[in-house]
């Protein structure tokens, strides 16, 4: 993989900049936008970026950092799912706590935002408290966002319980957007000043990247990633007016900046030190780019991946038509086609060649692009689905094993299929990716060839894949665990509504 980003240079620059902010006050409330860990979007668009860069950055500052996790009560009630892990937001809070503790970082508490007695949220709060996690419930702020006098009063931020903190840097993070991080930071700021303490607020948002051009594919890829939120990148006019320097920000930050400035000035009783939304940020990720062309191409590929994701969500009815058309417009503005993703043509041409579009069900084809550019394919059959077949063919290719050699003995496969269909009553006994890999691992105990193939599985990390029908959740998860970036055509593999 060609590198376009220098991780070490970035970490050095970023930690230095954050410490400069901390030194200007007693306590810094640092709102972490985006993903604190496993930032796979950043990894894909910035080849060389460590997806755990933020958490490793905090680890270098761990003696000075404690963390507050926010989660919106409404997201818990509607079981909102974090797509890259396939788990609900409440479960992601638990995962976050475990991960942060594994890095020896101090988790101060969990804040439930806009809480109004929702039943499932109350159960979750009880669960946290029973496990010794400090938990706070903040209601919707009265007067927000227009009535600054009410917001900055005992009825506004003053109605929120104060969160006791002891370290100079308080990181406020969340499972996803709209979780109430900003409100929590400003509420804490209000309480700090009421106690006669000097505190400040800054935002750490990786995207958009303020010091690359507005229409740079890296920033457009961020628009594609947040297309459902209707985020639009724009020039930070406040920054340009103050400094004469163009900077890129996004519409929500631009719209909220005047309000946030007034709130901070009301809390502190003095003029805000920030002249623009860009000023509020501490992001230095743009300074880690070492090869702009590599980053541009990686970002174009991410836009195409996002296009397929949006298309499939629209087909499944979980994405509205307006969002789909917005994503389609981004593709056209960037002059990109779905076929510009190499594995798409590989999967579609293989499906056409094998005549998979006939029969009672639309059988599937999957293509995997290996690191050297080789395209390996697989198709669905009575034994296994196309993704499982493609993975087996990929490890064969990597291990130099002839195509006609079977890695898994029928003696192993048939009992598993019988168990699924006859004992467990499955109407789709064909094995999925995880089941096939389990069978391969069993065969590897007595079959040296299967063992060689098993040893090649880690080489699938960072490979690209595409399938001609919508993947089930289990196969999505398996590809994710293998580190394979997979996309799908927005086509259901069957007319069935449930047994898919």
- pLDDT digits over 246-257, tens only? 999 999 889 999
Same domain membership, residue 282 and residue 158: yes
What mean pLDDT do residues 114-129 have? 96
Same domain membership, residue 178 and residue 40: yes
Instruction: Report the candidate in 209, 170, 166 with the shortest Cα–Cα distance to residue 186.
Output: 170
Query: What's the angle, vertex CA 184, arms to CA 223 and CA 270, rounded to 5?
Result: 100
- 217: tokens are 């594919």
Q: Which residue has the higher pLDDT, 296 or 472?
A: 296
Instruction: Report the candidate in 70, 185, 64, 191 with the shortest Cα–Cα distance to residue 128.
Output: 70
Query: What tens digit of pLDDT does each residue of 12-66 get?
Result: 999 888 888 888 778 999 998 877 888 889 999 999 999 988 888 888 889 999 9
Distance CA 230, CA 385 (A): 36
Same domain membership, residue 392 and residue 276: no
Q: φ and ψ at 67, to 5 degrees?
A: -125, 135
Q: Would the pLDDT of 499 be above 60?
A: no
For position 36, what pLDDT does the model report?
A: 80
CB environment 479-493: b (16+ within 10 A), e (fewer): bbebebbbbbbbebb
Same domain membership, residue 138 and residue 24: yes
Same domain membership, residue 140 and residue 201: yes
Would 121 be classed as within a structural domain?
A: yes
What mean pLDDT do residues 213-242 have? 94
- How many domains does the chain contain in total? 2
CA dihedral 47, 52, 54, 60 (to 10 degrees): -120
What mean pLDDT do residues 326-351 have? 96
Distance CA 327, CA 302 (A): 12
Q: Would the pLDDT of 358 be above 50?
A: no
Q: Reduced to 3 states, what is the DSSP secondary structure of residue 38?
A: coil
Helix H, strand E, coil C: the string for 19-35 is HHHHCCCCEEEEEECCC
What mean pLDDT do residues 132-161 have? 94
Would 314 be classed as within a structural domain?
A: no
Query: Which residues form the domain of 461?
Result: 341-488
In eight-state DSSP terms, residue 109 is E
Same domain membership, residue 26 and residue 162: yes
Q: Which residue has the higher pLDDT, 497 or 13?
A: 13
Out of 102-106, 372-376, 403-407, pick the least confident. Answer: 403-407
Helix H, strand E, coil C: the string for 235-299 is ECHHHHHHHCCCCEEEHHHHHHHHHHHHHHHHHHCCCCCCCCHHHHECCCHHHHECCHHHHHHHH
Same domain membership, residue 47 and residue 150: yes
Instruction: Report the candidate in 222, 31, 259 with the shortest Cα–Cα distance to residue 144.
Output: 259
Burial of 5 (0-12, 13-18, 19+ CB in 10 A): buried
Same domain membership, residue 146 and residue 255: yes
Give 412's contacts (C-beta < 8 A, 6+ positions apart): 439, 442, 443
Would 64 be classed as within a structural domain?
A: yes
For residues 417 and 396, the answer to whether their CB atoms sit within 8 Å is no
Distance CA 452, CA 258 (A): 61
Q: Say which CATH number the domain at 357 has.
A: 3.40.140.40
For position 84, what pLDDT does the model report?
A: 67
What mean pLDDT do residues 145-157 have? 93
Same domain membership, residue 414 and residue 283: no
Which residues make beta-bridge pairs with 488?
A: 467
Query: What tens digit of pLDDT does each residue of 413-458 get?
Result: 888 888 888 888 777 788 999 999 999 999 999 899 999 999 999 9
Integer Rg of the chain from CA: 25
Distance CA 75, CA 55 (A): 24
Neighbours of 334 (CB within 10 A): 18
For position 362, what pLDDT does the model report?
A: 64
Would 62 be classed as within a structural domain?
A: yes
Same domain membership, residue 359 and residue 259: no
Same domain membership, residue 349 and residue 256: no
Would 239 be classed as within a structural domain?
A: no
Distance CA 332, CA 493 (A): 28
Would 452 be classed as within a structural domain?
A: yes
Instruction: Report the candidate in 391, 394, 463 with the shortest Cα–Cα distance to residue 431.
Output: 391
Q: Say which CATH number the domain at 70 has.
A: 3.10.630.10
For residues 444 and 450, the answer to whether their CB atoms sit within 8 Å is yes
Would 133 be classed as within a structural domain?
A: yes
- 487: tokens are 């996309």
For position 359, what pLDDT does the model report?
A: 44
Out of 122-131, 261-270, 359-368, 433-442, pick the least confident. Answer: 359-368
What mean pLDDT do residues 473-499 have? 87
For position 22, what pLDDT does the model report?
A: 81
Residue 42 CA: distances (Å) to CA of 47, 148, 224, 456, 497: 8, 36, 13, 26, 35
Same domain membership, residue 265 and residue 357: no
Would 245 be classed as within a structural domain?
A: no
């Amino acid at each position: 993989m060609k590198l376009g980003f220098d991780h070490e240079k970035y970490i050095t620059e970023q930690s230095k900049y954050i410490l400069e902010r901390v030194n200007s006050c007693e306590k810094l409330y640092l709102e972490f936008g985006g993903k604190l860990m496993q930032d796979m979007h950043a990894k894909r668009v910035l080849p060389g970026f460590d997806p755990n860069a933020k958490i490793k950055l905090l680890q270098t500052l761990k003696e000075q950092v404690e963390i507050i996790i926010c989660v919106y009560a409404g997201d818990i009630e509607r079981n909102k799912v974090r797509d890259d892990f396939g788990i609900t937001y409440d479960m992601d809070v638990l995962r976050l706590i475990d991960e942060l503790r594994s890095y020896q970082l101090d988790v101060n508490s969990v804040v439930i935002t806009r809480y109004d007695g929702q039943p499932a949220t109350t159960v979750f709060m009880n669960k946290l408290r029973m496990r010794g996690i400090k938990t706070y419930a903040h209601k919707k702020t009265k007067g927000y966002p227009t009535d600054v006098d009410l917001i900055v009063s005992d009825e506004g931020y003053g109605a929120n319980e104060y969160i006791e903190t002891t370290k100079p840097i308080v990181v406020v993070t969340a499972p996803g957007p709209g979780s109430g991080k900003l409100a929590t930071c400003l509420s804490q700021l209000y309480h700090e000043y009421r106690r006669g303490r000097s505190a400040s607020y800054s935002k750490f948002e990786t995207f958009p990247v303020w010091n690359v051009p507005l229409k740079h594919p890296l920033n457009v890829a961020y628009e594609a990633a947040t297309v459902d939120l209707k985020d639009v990148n724009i020039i930070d006019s406040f920054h340009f007016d103050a400094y004469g320097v163009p900077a890129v920000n996004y519409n929500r930050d631009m719209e909220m900046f005047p309000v946030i400035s007034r709130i901070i000035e009301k809390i502190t009783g003095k003029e805000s030190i920030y002249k623009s939304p860009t000023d509020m940020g501490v992001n230095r990720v743009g300074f880690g780019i070492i090869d702009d062309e590599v980053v541009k191409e990686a970002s174009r590929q991410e836009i195409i991946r996002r296009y397929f994701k949006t298309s499939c969500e629209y087909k499944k009815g979980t994405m509205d038509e307006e969002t789909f058309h917005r994503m389609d417009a981004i593709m056209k503005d960037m002059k990109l086609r779905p076929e510009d993703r190499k594995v798409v043509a590989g999967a579609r041409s293989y499906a056409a060649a094998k005549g998979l579009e006939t029969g009672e069900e639309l059988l599937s084809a999957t293509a995997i692009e290996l690191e050297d550019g080789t395209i390996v394919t697989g198709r669905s059959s009575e034994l296994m689905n196309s993704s499982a077949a493609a993975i087996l063919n990929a490890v064969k290719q990597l291990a130099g094993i002839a195509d006609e050699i079977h890695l898994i003995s029928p003696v192993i496969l048939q009992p598993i299929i019988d168990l699924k269909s006859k004992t467990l009553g499955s109407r789709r006994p064909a094995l999925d990716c995880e089941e096939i890999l389990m069978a391969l691992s069993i065969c590897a105990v007595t079959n040296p060839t299967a063992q060689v193939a098993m040893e090649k599985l880690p080489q699938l990390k960072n490979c690209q894949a595409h399938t001609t029908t919508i993947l089930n959740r289990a196969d999505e998860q398996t590809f994710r665990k293998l580190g394979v970036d997979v996309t799908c055509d927005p086509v259901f593999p069957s007319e069935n509504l449930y047994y898919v």
